[in-house]
Amino acid sequence: MLSPAILIPAILNGLLTGAVYALVALGLTLIYGVLHIINFAHGALLTAAMFAAYFANRWLGLDPYVAAVGLAPLFFALGYALQRCVVGPAGRGDDRNILLVTLGLAVMIENALLYVFRADTRTIDLPYAFDTIAVGPAFLAVPRVIAFAAVVAVALAVGALMRWTDIGKAIRAVAKEKLGAELSGIDAAHVYAVTFGLGTACLAVAACLLLPSYYVNPSAGNAFVLIAFTIVVLGGMGSVAGALIGGLIVGVVESLSGLWLGESLGQVGIFIVFILVLLVRPRGLFGEHA
Amino acid sequence: MKPYLPIAGVIALLAAVPLVTSSNVVLDFLVVAFLTALVGQGWNLLGGYGGQYSFGHAAFFGTGAYITAVLQVRYGLNAWAAFATGIAAGTAVGAAIGALVFRAGLRGSYFALVTLAFAEVLRILASVAPVTGAGVGTLIRLDLRWQVFQFQSRVPFYLIALALVALSLVLMHAIARSRFGAWLVAVRENEDAARALGVDATAIKIAAMTLSAAVTAAGGGFYAQYYLFVDAGIAYGPWVSIEALLAPIVGGAGTVFGPLLGALVVKTLGEGAKVAAGDAPGLDLVIYGSVLVLVVAFAPRGIAGVVADAWRWRARRGDTTAETGHA
């Protein structure tokens, strides 16, 4: 059970899975960091992005990695519009209302997809889907290695954007002190919408990275979003570094507890980590405040 | 007894339905709506009055349902006793989760998340544990005798569901008029201010969650007897938690009749969607989701709020003294 020949591949695969989790969590944590609400529509939006990537492949023949270049701006626009036209106005700044609105959106999007595409599970065929590379005793699937590299690149890009660009500074300003930012001439509604758009664009990229090795159906995103909640709580709400490290930790925890407890009980391991973190240290590993 | 007259009136009206029609379609529709109203009333106690938005009421519903079913099937307990135990077990789960979560000081988004997580843990455990029938679920043996909480016709089920709704209405009304209810609303409106005035907010919230769980667990136990089948998705699935909050939000969270009103409206819309579009999966839920967004956007106090506003507006236009006299 504990021999390195089993353990090392399990840990490496956990890290690769964790990277995609981290990207989903990154979108969630960006939105939480600024709007201070949990976007319950995150999973449904991920599913929508997976369907978009699927049909980009089936109808336009686009490789998912190419489709990501087009889908990311498209989903940025979708997220921007959702926040500007639906979540913002309907929520009226009350946390409880925003929770309900994003939950309502989740139900709408997921079931609209179910209504149009039925519950069928779809996959795409790619020539490289089953290629592997050997790393020590482990054979790693090529699409997952590519996903890992892409997630690191996206996370660095988001970090740079937040740190050095004007909009990044504006986002951080609104997150810290909304009223002060508004008094300095920052349009908070615009900043909120940009943040929501960024979070949604992360999902589009995540969907394109998932598709080569994962399936699509109207509830495919849900599996990821509960894990993303865990990661965001573990890493600290609003922390980009926390999302990355939390994602990798959760990927490894899932992989190892799956190894020892079996697939479905392995999931319980994640939720128990989640509940314990919430109860004992709700600000997470890297969060500034609860 | 005067404050309870509206409840008595509504219940009497609904109790007369089986005298007018024996259509199973109508009765079945109303039983399902009552069940939703009951589960929703549980949510309303904690969410509507207490302002703690739980996204995991399936934890209580599912425990009520599973305990009711499993005690009969695996341990040969009488159905009525199993039902009562199911409610007690759901209540205990509510008290335990409430104590853990509120002592840790979780509010708002965090509270919503952690309740969701508890429901998911229970769902996964129920889908693998042998005692719950794991993935197959638990089937209660058909045995149409009242001694085992099963009936030949829908009418007794209808009346029992209605009686449970009536009890929940009376309980909610009594709480709303009590000191406990006032504390609960104070915690909802401004927890820090309530604490400053000496309200033990943590104890109030734990008590509210315990009562809330009891009401919702009764819904779960009734479900098990009505359909004679429980599995992990039915009992602990996320949809249960969503439906639990949908009815009170639509009807009017923090009002006594909100959940019943909301359940009737939501279920009517759902049936309407099925009639309009055939049995296409998903469409009714798309409508539920849109209704939820629209209500939050345009009628944040639900249908009850809209009605109250219209009433006040009419009273003010008709006679300015009428309003003050009424209040």
CATH fold of B2-285: ABC transporter involved in vitamin B12 uptake, BtuC (1.10.3470)
Q: How far apart are CA A57 and CA A82, in angstroms?
A: 25
Domain annotation covers residue A213: yes
Displacement of CA A39 from its chain's centroid (Å): 11
pLDDT score, position B71: 94
Number of domains in chain A: 1
Decide if B242 and A107 are in contact by the 8 Å CB cutoff: yes
Taking CA–CA distances from A109, the nearest residue in chain B reads B286
Residue A257's CB: how many other CB atoms inside 10 A? Answer: 20
Domain annotation covers residue A242: no
Quickly list H helices, B178-282: 179-189, 191-196, 201-227, 232-236, 238-251, 258-277
Domain annotation covers residue A99: yes
Which residues are CB-contacts of B11 (< 8 A; sequence separation ≥ 6)? B162, B165, B166, B169
Q: What is the mean pLDDT of residues A4-21?
A: 86
Which band of pLDDT confidence, cut at 50, 70 and 90, is reported for residue A136? confident
Decide if B293 and A105 are in contact by the 8 Å CB cutoff: yes
Smallest Cβ distance to A275: which of B118, B242, B291?
Answer: B118
Which band of pLDDT confidence, cut at 50, 70 and 90, is reported for residue B183? very high
Smallest Cβ distance to B286: which of A112, A229, A282?
Answer: A112
- Contacts B281 to A, Cβ<8 Å: 114-115, 118-119
- B124/chain A closest Cα distance in angstroms: 7
CB A235 within 8 A of CB A286: yes
Helix (H, G, I), strand (E, B) or coil at A164: helix
Question: pLDDT tens digits, residue range B29-69?
Answer: 999 999 999 999 999 999 999 999 999 999 999 999 999 99
Decide if A36 and B109 are in contact by the 8 Å CB cutoff: yes
Q: What is the mean pLDDT of residues A63-82?
A: 93
pLDDT over 90 at A109, yes or no: yes
Q: How far apart are CA A132 and CA A145, in angstroms?
A: 9
pLDDT over 50 at B324, yes or no: no
Question: pLDDT tens digits, residue range B204-260?
Answer: 999 999 999 999 999 999 999 999 999 998 999 888 999 999 999 999 999 999 999
Q: What is the mean pLDDT of residues B94-98?
A: 96
Test mutation, A37, A83, A95, A96, chain B, max B CBs within 10 A: A96
Q: How far apart are CA B138 and CA B223, in angstroms?
A: 13
Question: pLDDT tens digits, residue range A153-167?
Answer: 999 999 899 889 999
Domain annotation covers residue A254: no
**One-letter amino acid for residue A228 of the chain:** A
Which band of pLDDT confidence, cut at 50, 70 and 90, is reported for residue B90? very high
- Contacts B113 to A, Cβ<8 Å: 38, 229, 233, 278
Which band of pLDDT confidence, cut at 50, 70 and 90, is reported for residue B104? confident
pLDDT over 50 at A290, yes or no: no
Taking CA–CA distances from B116, the nearest residue in chain A reads A226
Helix (H, G, I), strand (E, B) or coil at B229: strand
Decide if A101 and B297 are in contact by the 8 Å CB cutoff: yes
B138 membership: H or E segment, kind and range: strand B138-139
Name which of B112, B96, B111, B105 is nearest B192 in CA terms: B105
Residue A58's CB: how many other CB atoms inside 10 A? Answer: 11
pLDDT over 50 at A49, yes or no: yes
pLDDT over 80 at A265, yes or no: no
Taking CA–CA distances from B297, the nearest residue in chain A reads A90
Q: What is the pTM of this model?
A: 0.87
The residue length of chain B stands at 327
Burial of B141 (0-12, 13-18, 19+ CB in 10 A): exposed
Domain annotation covers residue A144: yes
Task: At B252, list the tokens.
Answer: 């009017």
- Contacts A114 to B, Cβ<8 Å: 281-282, 285
Domain annotation covers residue A123: yes
Test mutation, B107, B293, B294, chain A, max A CBs within 10 A: B293
Taking CA–CA distances from A97, the nearest residue in chain B reads B296
pLDDT score, position B312: 86
Task: At A57, list the tokens.
Answer: 């492949």
pLDDT over 50 at B138, yes or no: yes
Question: E strands of A68-215, at which residues?
Answer: 132-135, 138-141
- Contacts A223 to B, Cβ<8 Å: none
Which band of pLDDT confidence, cut at 50, 70 and 90, is reported for residue B135? confident
- The 10 Å CB-count burial string (b at 16+, else e) for A102-116 is bbbbbbbbbbbbbbe
Name which of B38, B40, B36 is nearest B49 in CA terms: B40
Task: At B231, list the tokens.
Answer: 């599995």
pLDDT score, position B323: 45
CB A49 within 8 A of CB A41: no
Task: Return the percentage of chain A with pLDDT > 90, whole number.
Answer: 32
**What one-character-per-residue DSSP string does B78-130 give?**
-HHHHHHHHHHHHHHHHHHHHHHHHHTT--HHHHHHHHHHHHHHHHHHHHH-G
Q: Which of A121-130, A211-220, A244-253, B74-83 has the lowest mean pLDDT?
A: A121-130
Question: pLDDT tens digits, residue range B268-293?
Answer: 988 888 887 777 778 888 888 898 89
Which band of pLDDT confidence, cut at 50, 70 and 90, is reported for residue A263? low
- B11/chain A closest Cα distance in angstroms: 30
pLDDT score, position B227: 94
Decide if A274 and B117 are in contact by the 8 Å CB cutoff: yes
Taking CA–CA distances from B285, the nearest residue in chain A reads A111
Which band of pLDDT confidence, cut at 50, 70 and 90, is reported for residue B320? low
Q: How far apart are CA A23 and CA A90, in angstroms?
A: 28
Q: How far apart are CA A232 and CA A285, in angstroms?
A: 10
Q: How far apart are CA A227 and CA B187, in angstroms?
A: 31
Question: E strands of A34-153, at which residues?
Answer: 132-135, 138-141
Test mutation, B103, B120, B246, chain A, max A CBs within 10 A: B120
Decide if B242 and A114 are in contact by the 8 Å CB cutoff: no
**Where are chain B's structural domains?**
2-285
Helices and strands (H and E) in chain B: how many: 16, 2
- A71/chain B closest Cα distance in angstroms: 24
> Under an 8 Å CB criterion, which residues of B touch A?
51, 53, 55, 100-101, 104-106, 108-110, 112-114, 116-118, 120-121, 124-125, 127-128, 238, 242, 245, 249, 280-283, 285-286, 288-293, 296-297, 300
Q: Which of A209-223, B23-37, B89-103 has the lowest mean pLDDT?
A: A209-223
A53 membership: H or E segment, kind and range: helix A42-60
Smallest Cβ distance to A279: which of B100, B245, B280?
Answer: B100
Smallest Cβ distance to B104: which of A115, A230, A282?
Answer: A282
Residue B169's CB: how many other CB atoms inside 10 A? Answer: 23
Per the structure, the complete domain to which residue A73 belongs is given by 27-222
CA distances from B74 to B65, B71, B141, B174 (A): 14, 6, 11, 38
CA distances from B252 to A94, B40, B49, B245 (A): 17, 11, 11, 10
Task: Return the percentage of chain A with pLDDT > 70, whole number.
Answer: 96
Terminal-to-terminal C-alpha distance of chain A: 38
What number of CA atoms fall less than 13 Å from residue B295's CA on the CB side?
28
Which band of pLDDT confidence, cut at 50, 70 and 90, is reported for residue B327? very low
Test mutation, B93, B114, B269, chain A, max A CBs within 10 A: B114
